[in-house]
Amino acid sequence: MIKFLSAEWRELLEQNGLGNFEALWNLDADWFEEPNRCRGGWSGVCRIELKRPDGGVCAAFLKRQHNHTRSTLHHALRGEPTLQAEVRNIQRLAAQGIPTLELLCHGQQACANGRNALLLTKELTGYQPLSDLISPERIQQLGIARRRAIARAVADMVHKLHLSHLVHNCLYPKHVFVRLQDERIDVRLIDVEKARIRRSAWRRTLRDLDSLNRRAPNVSRTDRLSFLLAYLQQSKLDRQAKKLWRRLAGRMNKGK
């Protein structure tokens, strides 16, 4: 019914009166993201705060879904909760050493008119979406050196993702979270429910880099090149890299 990822978090949730599926599902909390409604179901996210015994607070995000499913090879008729795919991909990325969300608990439960599912993840404290960092107001404030360092950190993460034969499939700047700490830059991926194994390296690269490139209009051509070289782990563009560069630029210009 519900699976806890650690005894520590189970104890903390129980101390907050949220130690079972029913309590989490029926929790009265404001929507952080208004429910997405489609195909007779819905999926929404709330931000909650868990009180610690020492008086501190731990923030977490609670995703709840009702009949929010997708058809898969193994769930062709009934469908699979999209949340189940997200849990699987979070665990898959973690196993590959690719930083993502920290799972606290997840579960499913049959109800009178379908199926409910929930997922609780720890808030990424100190992180901010890449989309905020590259907004018109922020990007110039960062300075060239800082922008290049962020580009390398994000590129290294995407490179590692693709080396694992995984494609994010929805790699927008708002789904890449960045934490800046002095000279250190940490990067995490979120919203990984659409991630898939894709054997073609070219298709993995084109799919994710195109999504990221077209949704970063404020990033300069020089910074884009810096990102691409870091992703390819090259000091200059070779013939194949130039082909990729032209393809990405062509897709971006076509979308204008």
Cα 20 from Cα 1, distance rounded (Å): 9
The SS3 of residue 136 is helix
HSE-up of 190 (CA within 13 Å, CB side)?
19
**Beta sheet of 57-66, edge-to-edge order:** 2-4, 103-111, 114-122, 57-66, 41-51, 31-38
HSE-up of 161 (CA within 13 Å, CB side)?
30
198-225 exposure pattern, b = at least 16 Cβ within 10 A, e = fewer: beeeeebbbbbbbbbbbbbeebeeebbe
HSE-up of 238 (CA within 13 Å, CB side)?
5
pTM given for the model: 0.91
Domain segments of the chain as ranges: 2-122, 128-254
Say which CATH class 128-254 falls into. mainly alpha
pLDDT tens track, the chain, 256 positions: 788 888 889 999 999 999 999 999 999 999 998 888 876 789 999 999 999 999 999 999 999 999 977 655 544 456 678 899 999 999 999 999 999 999 999 999 988 888 899 999 999 999 999 999 999 999 989 999 999 999 999 999 999 999 999 999 999 999 999 999 988 999 999 999 999 999 999 999 999 999 999 999 999 999 999 999 999 999 999 999 999 999 999 988 776 5
Inter-helix orientation angle 221-232/144-163, to 10°: 40
Cα 81 from Cα 70, distance rounded (Å): 6
- Looking at the DSSP bridge assignments, the partners of residue 162 are none
Same fold, 2-122 and 128-254: no
**The CA-based dihedral angle spanning residues 173, 233, 165, 62, taken in that order and rounded to the nearest 10 degrees:** -30
Q: What does the DSSP 8-state code read for residue 173?
A: G
CATH number given to 2-122: 3.30.200
